[in-house]
Structure 1
Amino acid sequence: MSGRAGKTRNIFLVWLIWPLITLGIYHLVWYYKVNREARDFDDRIEVDPVKSLLALAVGWLLIVPPFVSVYNTGLRIARMQESAGIQRSCNPWIGLILFILAGLYPLYYQHELNQIWVHYKIPEEGAQVPLAA
């Protein structure tokens, strides 16, 4: 089995710089891309990136959806780590707590994603990479 590699990103650019420059739009783009990368990396990870994004962006009207979406994104990253053959280190509860604490979760989630791409020696975005399980 193989999947498509995602992009290695600078965690501080993802969390602070690009969102400030784009008035928050980059954060939504990043969230969509992270969920799309999970889907493209392993076919067994079921996610609709648009629904995940909508849960985060407009789910506030119902209060709960953003929290569920952020937690589930953490679960997906952990499953990606398992599929890559590395130890599962991404904890969705930590991501959720960091989400509540001033939106720090992109730092954590992007760091965890970068570990996957480092495992594959930082492949070109979209390159085919072998899956362990």
Structure 2
Amino acid sequence: MAAEEVEVRGVVVKRRGVLVTWLLIIVTLGIYALFHWYYINREMRDMSDALGKPFGNSPGLSVLALFPGSFLIVPAIWTWVTTARRTRDLREFALDGRPGDHTSVALGVILGFIYALNHPYLQSSLNGTWEILKD
């Protein structure tokens, strides 16, 4: 499935295929992971601003924490944690107190150690969040 651009609350975001996201990371030997990390962090920053609850994150710093920060290990884990938290918080903003699925920060970090499976996990959560906010 190709990425589908959708406008949600005045912000253009992409619904990306979860499997395609992961396969692109594998095929490009991790290069796509950096692009994906930047774009999901930028989309979350822009959407949180549009919702009036700005995260104030820097997508560029998030990518730098992945690479070259991954050589030190701690920055990469830190960006996994903070990005998973933002994904969870954005879903909670979207649900506005209604019951629903929430993103697990711990699972997002654990999956980061397993062939970058945190990328499809977080993308799946964001795809659901975009659907909730679209309505």
Give the TM-score category using the shorter length: 0.7 to 0.9
- Could you tell me whether the CA contact under 8 Å between 1:3 and 1:40 is conserved in 2? no
Q: How many equivalent pairs are there? A: 120
Superposition misfits of 4+ residues, deviation over 4 angstroms: none
CA–CA separation in structure 2 for the residues paired with 1:26 and 1:9: 13
- Counterpart of 1:78 (choices 88, 95, 98) is 88
- Structure 2 residue 97 is the aligned partner of structure 1 residue 90: no
Normalised TM-score (structure 2): 0.80
- Structure 2 residue 23 is the aligned partner of structure 1 residue 10: no
- Counterpart of 1:45 (choices 48, 51, 55) is 55
What does residue 123 of structure 2 align with?
110
Report the 3-state secondary structure (helix = DSSP H, G, I; strand = E; otherwise coil) of the residue aligned with 1:6. Answer: strand
Which structure 2 segments of 5+ residues have no match?
Answer: 1-8
What does residue 33 of structure 1 align with?
39
Report the 3-state secondary structure (helix = DSSP H, G, I; strand = E; otherwise coil) of the residue aligned with 2:14. Answer: coil
Q: Could you tell me how far 1:5 is from its partner in structure 2?
A: 4.4
Which structure 1 segments of 5+ residues have no match?
Answer: 123-133
What does residue 66 of structure 1 align with?
76
CA offsets 1:53-109 (integer angstroms, 9 cap, x no match): 000111123220000101100000111112222646011110001111222111210
Report the 3-state secondary structure (helix = DSSP H, G, I; strand = E; otherwise coil) of the residue aligned with 2:15. Answer: coil
CA–CA separation in structure 2 for the residues paired with 1:92 and 1:38: 15
CA offsets 1:99-122 (integer angstroms, 9 cap, x no match): 112221112101100101122448
- What amino acid is aligned across from residue 13 of structure 2 in structure 1? G
- Could you tell me whether the CA contact under 8 Å between 2:92 and 2:102 is conserved in 1? no
Normalised TM-score (structure 1): 0.81
CA offsets 1:23-62 (integer angstroms, 9 cap, x no match): 3221110000000011100121121000000001111232
Deviates more, 1:47-56 or 1:88-97: 88-97
**RMSD, aligned CA:** 1.9
